[in-house]
Amino acid sequence: MTDDALPSRGQSRHVGAPARLERLLLTDFRSFASADLRFSDEMVVFVGPNGGGKTNLLEAISLLMPGRGLLGARLSDMTRRGTNKPHGGWAVSAEIAGVAGPIRLGTGLTKDAAGRDRRAFRLEGEPASPKDIGELVRLVWLTPAMERLFEESASARRRFFDRLVATFDSAHPARLGRYERALSERQRLLNEGTGEPAWLSGLERIIAGEGVAIAAARLQLLECLRAEIARDGPWADEDLFPRADLALEDGLEALLCGQPALLAEAEFERALAAGRMRDAEAGRALEGAHRSDLKVRHKAKAMPAEECSTGEQKALLLNIVLSAVRLISDAKGSAPLVLLDEIAAHLDEVRRDALFAALESVGAQVFLTGTELSAFGVLGSRAQAFEINHSRAQLRQ
């Protein structure tokens, strides 16, 4: 992560202009044969019965950013059933008004020369790299499945935090990919007992370098996010949105405390070499960036998030996500797109109205889903509403 990727504590702050999604087009995506939606407001609501296609629209928007999207699904699973295209499948394209002017971009499923599924990106009609797209489009999302985050495995919390890091540092996913590939190759050689020491040393050098860089990026975001959470804001009411206390444990972060990155790399590389026999017996590397866990506590109660009530856990997660949105706006000069699936469910009217007020205050374009429009009544004419049913979208007047 570059030094100017995030604001320092003494740096002046500002609310960035939103990157506004103005048009979304789908072809053979999930349950949609086609769709063409135009958005004019900062608050957009998709309402309709369960199974009508609301979450499919949020997933399509999430794919405008590199990665596996809001549901983490396989590329082939996103193609509409019954579609038979020899050279590809689904496609999503969009028109976005950004701080640098209008952007036309698209992504979709295609095939490589060997016939394997791959995802392609286009920017202004020309092929583009995931890093190019990641610099232009930033998204933050929250789904019902994520509300169990504090009770799930460390890997789920790590993926959640790495997605936040990627919104600040578009090189982070590539680092993770290089790290995981080298780690997997090292483990294969250890399992087979065929690795030459020099070859293993080369892989361990890559693992150490990328692993420490990953840990440094996570720590930088952690520090800035902690400071953001501590700020006063529309969700500073501890009764409505309890502040989250964040920490990273069990990975490489401790190595970076009190020593330069190069020394941390050397120390981790030595640990990998010394642990070859142990990792071969375990069938996995027992140390590294892949072991990090995001620990969250209810700050006012000094209570681990996993011991809090379901409502408190959802409020803590909202505190993290809303703080991240505001931090992105300050750091990048443009608010991210925010996707909130079934966010009003299980929130009382007071918390629901406070949440909508907080969302409006961050200056981001927000897409929300729900089964009843009445849950979003406080927004009134400030929200653009679409009725979604049988994978058809109708603008409500």
Residue 70 burial by Cβ neighbours in a 10 Å radius (0-12, 13-18, 19+) = buried
| Residue range 314-362, pLDDT digits in tens | 889 989 998 999 898 888 878 899 999 998 887 888 888 888 888 888 8
* Nearest-angstrom CA–CA distance, 241 and 358: 10
Are the C-beta atoms of 253 and 208 separated by less than 8 Å?
A: no
Domains contained in the chain, CATH given = 155-306 (1.20.1050.90)
**Count of beta carbons in the 10 Å neighbourhood of residue 320:** 24
pTM summary value: 0.88
Alpha-helical runs (H) found in 231-294: 261-274, 276-282
Beta-bridged to residue 91, according to DSSP, are: 27, 108
DSSP 113: T
Alpha-helical runs (H) found in 193-241: 197-230
List per-residue pLDDT tens for the chain, 397 residues long: 333 443 333 333 334 455 799 999 999 999 999 999 999 999 999 999 999 999 999 999 999 998 889 999 999 899 998 777 655 689 999 999 876 678 999 999 988 888 888 999 999 999 998 888 888 888 999 999 898 999 999 999 999 999 999 988 888 999 999 999 999 999 999 999 987 899 999 999 999 999 999 999 999 999 999 999 998 766 667 777 889 999 999 999 999 988 999 999 999 999 999 999 999 999 999 999 999 999 999 999 999 999 998 888 988 998 999 899 989 888 887 889 999 999 888 788 888 888 888 888 888 899 999 999 999 988 988 999 999 999 999 998 7
Amino acid 329: pLDDT: 85
Amino acid 236: pLDDT: 65
Amino acid 9: pLDDT: 35
Residue of 8, 200, 163, 199 whose CA lies nearest to 71: 163
Amino acid 348: pLDDT: 82
